[in-house]
C-alpha cells in the first residue's frame, strides 16, 4: 500500500532563517506531488506541484521554492523565512496521469511552521 511521510510535524524558526520541509511517498511510482499551505482559519492554497523529477510548477509567487530530486521526494525550501510564512504546510500526492481524473489525492499529516 502507498504511504506518505512528511516531517517535521512542528517547527519554530526565527525570521531570516532557512527552511527545509521534506515529503516522501512510498509504494507508488511517478506520482504527481503537491505542496499546499493553510493559514490559520483559511482554506488551502496550492504552492507548487510536480509531475516528474526536476519538474516544478509554481502557483503563487513567494518566498518559497520546491525541488524534486527523486521520483518520490518533494522538498519545500526557503533561504530566509518571513513572518508571513507561518502556517500549516501539507504535502499531497496523486497517481500518475494515465490513471485518469477519478483518483483522489492523498495528504500527509502536515507541518505546523511558526516563524518568530
Residue 5 interacting with other proteins (CB under 8 A): no
- Torsions phi, psi for 17 (to 5 deg): -85, 160
C-alpha 45 chain-centroid distance = 11
Q: Which is nearer to other proteins, 40 or 83 (CB)?
A: 40
Residue 87 interacting with other proteins (CB under 8 A): no
Given the C-alpha cell 516531517, which residue does it identify?
A: 7
For other proteins, the binding residue among 42, 54, 61, 83 (CB under 8 A) is 42
Residue 116 CB-half CA count within 13 A? 5
In the complex, what is the shortest distance from the CB of residue 104 to other proteins, in angstroms, rounded to a whole number? 5
Instruction: Please state, as a whole number, how many other Cβ atoms lie within 10 Å of the Cβ of residue 62.
Output: 15
Residue 32 interacting with other proteins (CB under 8 A): yes
Cα separation, 40 vs 85, in Å, equals: 12
Contact residues for other proteins, defined by CB under 8 A: 6, 32, 34, 42-44, 46, 49-51, 57, 59, 90, 92, 94, 97, 100-102, 104-110, 112
Amino acid at each position: 500500500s502507498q504511504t506518505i511521510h512528511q516531517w517535521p510535524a512542528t517547527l519554530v524558526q526565527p525570521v531570516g532563517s532557512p527552511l527545509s520541509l521534506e515529503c516522501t511517498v512510498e509504494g507508488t511510482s511517478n506520482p504527481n506531488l503537491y505542496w499546499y499551505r493553510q493559514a490559520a482559519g483559511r482554506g488551502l492554497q496550492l504552492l507548487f506541484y510536480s509531475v516528474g523529477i526536476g519538474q516544478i510548477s509554481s502557483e503563487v509567487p513567494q518566498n518559497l521554492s520546491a525541488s524534486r530530486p527523486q521520483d518520490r521526494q518533494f522538498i519545500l525550501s526557503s533561504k530566509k523565512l518571513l513572518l508571513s510564512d507561518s502556517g500549516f504546510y501539507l504535502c499531497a500526492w496523486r497517481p500518475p496521469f494515465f490513471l485518469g481524473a477519478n483518483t483522489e489525492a492523498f495528504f500527509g499529516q502536515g507541518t505546523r511552521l511558526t516563524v518568530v
